[in-house]
Structure 1
Amino acid sequence: MKLPEGAYLKLNPEDEYMHPLGSEVNFNESMYFNVYDPKGKIGGWFRIGNRANEGNAEMTACIYLPDGSVAFMFQRAKIANNDAFKAGGMEFIIDEPYKALSVKYSGEVLLLKNPSEMIDPSKAFKNNPKLPCSVELSYRGVSPMYGGEPVNADGSPLEDNPNAGFYLGHYEQHIAGTGKIVVGDKTYTIDGLGLRDHSWGPRYWQNVQYYRWLPMNFSEDFAIMCLNKTLGDGTKLIGGMVLNEGRYDLIREASIETVWDENYYQKTLKAWAKTDHAEYEIEGRVMSLIPLRNRRTLDDGTELMTRITEGMTEYRCNGRVGYGLSEYLDQIIDGKPNGIFS
């Protein structure tokens, strides 16, 4: 993301905590964690998105099980304020800013032998069994922080924030996660790597045309996040970072090519990224994928639908094998995702 002259990304340890609730009806503050344990062949991601002015929080637990099935739960849990990330049986705790955080969940999950059924949530929830689930994960940062809130040189808010409509502030960090996940009568010990993020500001999922977000970890010393995003006005943003020996090298240029299946879900991908120090050729193979959606009705009755496909993905780069997510967001136009030919 290119900022105007003099502007910079402001980030303080206090930003790990909750931000003042804005007056916008669609003000969102969200936090997200993912993890994958290659030895146990299990991974997942967890998100709370507080939308306090709408009276609810979006709570999502998504666990990719070793047999290819997915344990999934989504709730719009009632909340009265933006005081904490605690909703729907899930809780995120900041143990030490930038260094240590915890994720807890206690509730139910839907066991999906065929995760693609989630494209029709009502049908999926009726036709698949629910199991008790608990999650206890401890995360530690293995990298610097990436991102923040764009501000002018004097610290005042940037009026022309290029991400307006999706967030005001946003940061990410590569992490290591340990703990346990229990699904039904099976307990899985977790020791893996992942990425987390934190966003705040007004958000509608329909304010972005499409994006491709590729967070991946190869080791505690080598990890990548590559992002290609097209905003609602057509502006294209390319960003991300490469973790090398404890430092982040910013991605200056990047491209992503995708092979799709018959439903326009990503199957494999090839990405190229360039920093000031090196170029990277990346190949990805989706191991398990679940399609999700967000719908919104405008005042004139127009219905909008956003599709987000979440693929647990095996990556290869520089002769190394790593794991992470491939998250593809598209607006559905005339029945098709609008970014498939980009």
Structure 2
Amino acid sequence: MSLSIEDEALHLQSSERSWRESYYFNFVDEESGISCFATIGIMPNLKIREFVFAIFYKDKKKIYYNELKSSIPVDLNEILSDGKLCFRLERPLKQWQIFFNDPEFSVDLSWDSRSPPIDFGEGSGTSWLRHFEQPGKVRGKMRLADGTSIEIDGLGQRDKSWGPRNWHIDGWFAMHAQFNELSIGLRRDTVGSTSKTSGYILSGNEIVAISDLELETIFAKGTNRMPVGAKTVIYGSDGSKYSLVSKLMAPNTCAKFERDFGQSVTELYEEMAIHECSGLKGRGTGLIEWLITRTKVFG
């Protein structure tokens, strides 16, 4: 199934309570030291919208979360705004605007595509029915509480997914890596002893599917066992191979979210990252993300 501009709108949901449609964006501007991710998750059968905005600058970070419980509006622009965080579609599959209004950080961003959207396919993961991703260029301004205005000019990624959402699998790893001449988007979902890798390598105008992934997760020292980096070897279906070393952009460029499922807890780590790739000039930027399910210890 090919993508069309209609896929920017909400899809007709199934009757499953866990049906979720999500819009997600991130970017890193290494020169200014600003990085960010933002998302909205729409759950029509539960009449819930989740808004998340996280921005990191120097030693500061702001994590905004708002869950709205009400009937889902009809108009898309109204759906995608809670009055403080707003996503606005300008040109389907090409351009979005993102606004965040807060006394500490006020942000006005324009997200423009670097390539056509890349379809991860039906059933390409355990957490959606359909999913696509798209690398982009992000420009805009951030205003601080003291009136300082900082220009933003960075690279980033967006994705959109829809379908029944299972947050309680054994785990997943996802990565976005933006280089001037290359973009990589991937994820690996693990359920029991089975792992499924999906994603792409974009070099110039050529899109290559990822066929396999080797992953070594680097954990923080101490008892918290937080993932703080990754070593990956990424194999393209055309025989290409990329070896990356990824680490946090700065110690504070991370966010952790937890969900309690009774006997176990899932921990989601979203981390803005710097990537080094052997054979490529310059550093890349982007995201490394883990979902980790931990069994509780009782008694």
TM-score of the aligned structures, taking structure 1 as reference length = 0.77
Deviation (angstroms), 1:162:
5.7
Letter in structure 1 aligned against 2:12: P
Correspondence for 1:53: 45
Is structure 2 residue 86 aligned with structure 1 residue 91? yes
Distance 2:72 2:193 in 1: 34
Distance 1:247 1:283 in 2: 23
Distance 1:224 1:162 in 2: 16
Deviation (angstroms), 1:55:
2.4
Q: Which stretches of structure 1, 4 residues or more, deviate above 4 A after TM superposition?
A: none
Distance 1:307 1:176 in 2: 29
Is structure 2 residue 18 aligned with structure 1 residue 23? no
Residue 35 of structure 1, aligned match among 8, 14, 27: 27
Distance 1:333 1:182 in 2: 42
SS at match of 1:34: strand
Distance 1:47 1:135 in 2: 15
What runs of 5+ residues in structure 2 fail to find an aligned partner? none
Distance 1:203-1:178 versus aligned 2 partners, 3 A rule = same
Distance 1:292-1:82 versus aligned 2 partners, 3 A rule = farther
Correspondence for 2:225: 264
Distance 1:181 1:215 in 2: 23
Distance 1:138 1:86 in 2: 16
Pairwise CA RMSD: 2.0
Letter in structure 2 aligned against 1:90: L
Offset from partner CA, 1:63-106 (integer Å, 9 cap, x none) = 11123x31111111234116432235222222112211111222
Letter in structure 2 aligned against 1:177: V
Letter in structure 2 aligned against 1:222: L
Distance 1:162-1:273 versus aligned 2 partners, 3 A rule = closer
Correspondence for 2:187: 227
Distance 1:137-1:228 versus aligned 2 partners, 3 A rule = same
The question of whether the paired residues in 2 share the 8 Å contact of 1:289 and 1:309 is answered with no
Letter in structure 2 aligned against 1:312: M
- 1:137-156 to 2 correspondences below 5 Å: 137-147=109-119, 150=122
The question of whether the paired residues in 1 share the 8 Å contact of 2:26 and 2:37 is answered with yes
The question of whether the paired residues in 1 share the 8 Å contact of 2:256 and 2:267 is answered with yes
Distance 1:12 1:148 in 2: 14
Correspondence for 1:294: 258
Correspondence for 1:123: none
Is structure 2 residue 279 aligned with structure 1 residue 316? no
What runs of 5+ residues in structure 1 fail to find an aligned partner? 1-8, 108-130, 151-160, 336-342
Letter in structure 2 aligned against 1:141: S
Deviation (angstroms), 1:267:
2.6
The question of whether the paired residues in 2 share the 8 Å contact of 1:10 and 1:148 is answered with no
Distance 1:21 1:86 in 2: 20
- Count of residues in Structure 1 that have an aligned counterpart in Structure 2: 285
SS at match of 1:87: coil
Deviation (angstroms), 1:303:
5.0
Residue 199 of structure 2, aligned match among 240, 248, 252: 240
Letter in structure 1 aligned against 2:91: E
Distance 2:154 2:45 in 1: 36
Deviation (angstroms), 1:328:
0.8
Distance 2:40 2:294 in 1: 24
Distance 1:104 1:169 in 2: 26
TM-score of the aligned structures, taking structure 2 as reference length = 0.88
Letter in structure 2 aligned against 1:313: A
Correspondence for 1:73: 64
SS at match of 2:45: helix
Correspondence for 2:290: 328
Distance 2:109 2:70 in 1: 24
Deviation (angstroms), 1:172:
0.3
Distance 1:191-1:57 versus aligned 2 partners, 3 A rule = same
SS at match of 1:14: helix
The question of whether the paired residues in 1 share the 8 Å contact of 2:125 and 2:196 is answered with no
Letter in structure 2 aligned against 1:294: E
Distance 1:188 1:234 in 2: 47
SS at match of 1:252: strand
The question of whether the paired residues in 1 share the 8 Å contact of 2:8 and 2:93 is answered with yes
Is structure 2 residue 132 aligned with structure 1 residue 174? no
Identity across aligned pairs (percent)? Answer: 26
